[in-house]
Structures are given as structure tokens and as C-alpha cells.
Amino acid sequence: MKFNINSSLKIALPLLLGVFLVWYSLSEISIEELFKYFKKADYTFIVLGMVLGLLSHLSRAYRWRFQLEPMGYNIKLGNSIMAVFATYLINYTVPRAGEVARASILTNYENVPFEKGIGTIVAERIADMVIMLSIMAITLLLEFDFIYSFLIEKFNPIKLFTSALIGLVTLVLIVWVINRSKSNFALKIKGFLSGLIEGVLSIFKMKKKWAFIGHTLFIWLMYLLMFYVTSFTLPETSNISVSALLIAFIAASFSIAATNGGIGSYPEAIVLAFSLFTIPEDPSRAFGWIMWSSQTLAIVVFGGFSLIYLPIFNRIKG
């Protein structure tokens, strides 16, 4: 029963949060006003942003093959592409179910053991996490004075320093205790951390590691350009600074993990980020909805096609 409750909560809570945030967002800007922004939007930039997003997904599918080749699996590019699009679509229904489905697709159509497929996806996510942390570090350097001033204004410097020091000391103590402990819990954590490190290092042991790294950089460059290009769709967001866009991009990226596919949370994350730069809420919220809607439309179309065509494709190729 406990397992069922936990599983139900993992599915229900992000969905309920997404519904609440959609309601909240549409209560802050009327649907009529939102439609006005959609009507005056420059769809050339929206379509260009969608194309850049699709290029990132195609690159992700191609990159995946580099991870599988050393294990002796030369999967069809078509299966890899459709598995990736199916992943994104399924994640709109149940969080992280897409990754399981992605590995299952390879098991069904390419005879890749499920655990090996999942292992490559985890390693892939680690590589993406490294790039995201790098983007955050670059943003911090670009806007250090602004972020520092904001933190000083919102928080007491002494309390902030004390909290950071306490947090650092606590982290060191936790690591020390876990490292010395022989309990099952500590061993699981050490095994997990060891696996993460091994996953990162495995990228550099890969036969086509530079191609993998190149595709990883290309994927995130497309994500950034997708976000940047789409900002030109509205006059109110066309002159926003690069720093503001980077902070909004980071906030929006994390919002995708908060709800199913970022529903509701994506536009509100952008509003929150843009508010730091005193950008009006209505165009910020409209930009968030345009950005989310255009990318979601692409995923629904290509993900839906992938789920339908996968068995047909493999019957023909088989």
C-alpha cells in the first residue's frame, strides 16, 4: 500500500501543481489579453525557435548511438529519433515515465537490455547536468554584481554568510559520516555517488567521446538559441538583455521538472526571472506561454507520430 501511495503521489502532485499554476497564470492575465499577444506575435521567430528545438532533439537521438555502440548495439537512427520524441511526449503524462519508455522501446525493437538502456540515459542526463551547471556559472559571472546586490538587498549579509558556512560545514560532516559509515543507507548513497562519477568519466572513455561532447554542446546551444530567437516574437521582449534571458532560461529549464512538461510552471518561472529586471508581467507571461506552447506543439506532433509509426517502421525494416 505504501508503494502505491508513493507512486500515486509522484504522479498526482506534479499534475495538480501544473493545474494550479495554469489557473494562477490565467488569473493574472486574461485569456483575451493573452490571445492579443499571440495574435500580434511574429510567427517567423516562433517557427525558427521550433526548428532549433527539433534540431536539438535530433542531435540527442544521434548522440545516444555513441553510447550504445561500445556495448555492441548499432541501433537504427529512426528508432533512436522516435524513442526520443516519444520520451518527451510521455513525460507530459507521467513524470520520468518517458525515460522508462525510451529504454523499453530499445528493448522491444533493438534487443538492448533494459538496464543498459537506462544506464545510457542516466549518463546522458549527467552530461546535460554538467552543461547546465556551466551555464549557471557563466550567468553568475556575467551578472555577479547584480546577483550579489540582489542577495544583499533581500537577505542580511551576516545571516547569509552564516547560513552558507553552516551549510558547508553540515555538508562536509555528512560526507565524512557517510564515508565512514557501513550502514546499508550509507552504502547506497556511496554507490549512487560513485555511479554518478563513473557515468561522467565513462563519457571520456567512449570511442567517439569528442563527437558525444560536440553533440552535447550543440544540443544546449540549440536550446539557448531557441529561447533567444523566440524572444524576438514580441516587441516587448525583443530588446531584453542576454543576462535576463539566461536567468529566465535557467528558471524555465528547472520548471520542467516541477510539473509535467513544465505545464503552468514554465511561463510563471519566466515571469519570476524577468521580474528581477523589472520587465512587465503581461508580456513576460505571454512570452512564457508562446515559448511553452510552440515547443509543446512540436513534441505533441512528432511524439504522437513516433508512437504511431514505431511499430510500422520496425515491421517494414524487419
Amino acid identity, position 282: D
Contact 300, 89 (CB under 8 A): yes
The SS3 call for residue 218 is helix
State the average pLDDT for the chain: 84
Digit-coded pLDDT (tens) for 78-94: 999 999 999 999 888 87
Domain-embedded: residue 168: yes
Query: Is 297 or 181 the better-scoring residue by pLDDT?
Result: 297
User: Would you call 238 helix, strand, or coil by DSSP?
Assistant: coil
**Grid cell at residue 246:** 539566461
Give the model confidence (pLDDT) of 114-162 as tens digits.
Answer: 878 888 888 888 889 889 989 988 888 887 776 667 666 656 667 667 7
> In this structure, are residues 241 and 277 in contact, taking their beta carbons and an 8 Å threshold?
yes
- Asked if the structure places residue 149 within a domain, the reply is yes
Q: H or E element: which one contains 134?
A: helix 114-142
| Cα(11)–Cα(91) distance, integer angstroms | 11
Note whether 40 and 286 are within 8 A (CB).
Answer: no
> Domain residues for 113?
18-317
Nearest Cα to Cα of residue 115 among 195, 186, 178? 195
Q: What is the CA radius of gyration of the chain?
A: 21
The pLDDT value recorded for residue 156 is 64
In this predicted structure, the answer to whether residue 170 has a pLDDT above a threshold of 80 is yes
Query: What pLDDT, in 10s, does the model give residues 250-275?
Result: 999 988 888 888 888 999 999 999 98
Identify the pLDDT of residue 219: 95
133, part of any domain: yes
pLDDT tier at 2 (50, 70, 90 boundaries)?
Answer: very low
Specify the higher pLDDT residue, 116 or 37.
37
pLDDT at 1: 42
Cβ atoms of 287 and 234 within 8 Å: the answer is yes
Does residue 278 or residue 188 have the better pLDDT? 278
Res. 62: pLDDT tops 60: yes
For residue 58, pLDDT beyond 90: yes
For residue 88, give every residue at least 6 positions away whose Cβ sits within 8 Å of its Cβ, in sequence order, or none: 57, 98, 261, 299, 303
Reply yes or no on whether the pLDDT at 209 is more than 90: no
Q: How confident is the model at residue 196 (pLDDT cuts 50, 70, 90)?
A: low
Q: What angle do CA 11, 20, 224 make, to 5 degrees?
A: 80
Least confident of 24-28, 77-81, 282-286: 24-28
Among 44-53, 170-179, 308-317, the range scoring the smallest mean pLDDT is: 170-179
4 within a domain of the structure (yes/no): no
**280 within some domain:** yes
**Given a cut of 80, is residue 314 above it in pLDDT?**
yes
229 or 118: which carries more pLDDT confidence? 229
Nearest CA among 251, 241, 258 for reference residue 273: 251
Is 179 among the domain residues? Answer: yes
pTM above 0.85, yes or no: no
* Rounded percentage of the chain residues whose pLDDT exceeds 90: 39
Please check whether residue 193 lies inside any domain of the structure: yes
Q: pLDDT class for 11, splitting at 50, 70, 90?
A: low
| Residue 168, pLDDT score | 81
- The answer to whether 99 and 136 have CB atoms below 8 angstroms apart is no
Query: DSSP character for 149?
Result: H
Q: Residues 240, 154: contact at Cβ < 8 Å?
A: no
pLDDT score at 92: 86
Number of domains in the chain: 1
Q: Residue 193: its pLDDT value, please?
A: 66
Domain assignment present for 211? yes
- The better pLDDT of the pair 244, 189 is held by 244
User: What pLDDT score was predicted for residue 35?
Assistant: 92
Rounded to an integer, the average pLDDT of 3-26 is 71
Q: What amino acid occupies position 276? A: L
Is the CB of residue 294 less than 8 Å from the CB of residue 46? yes
Question: Percent of the chain, pLDDT > 70?
Answer: 86
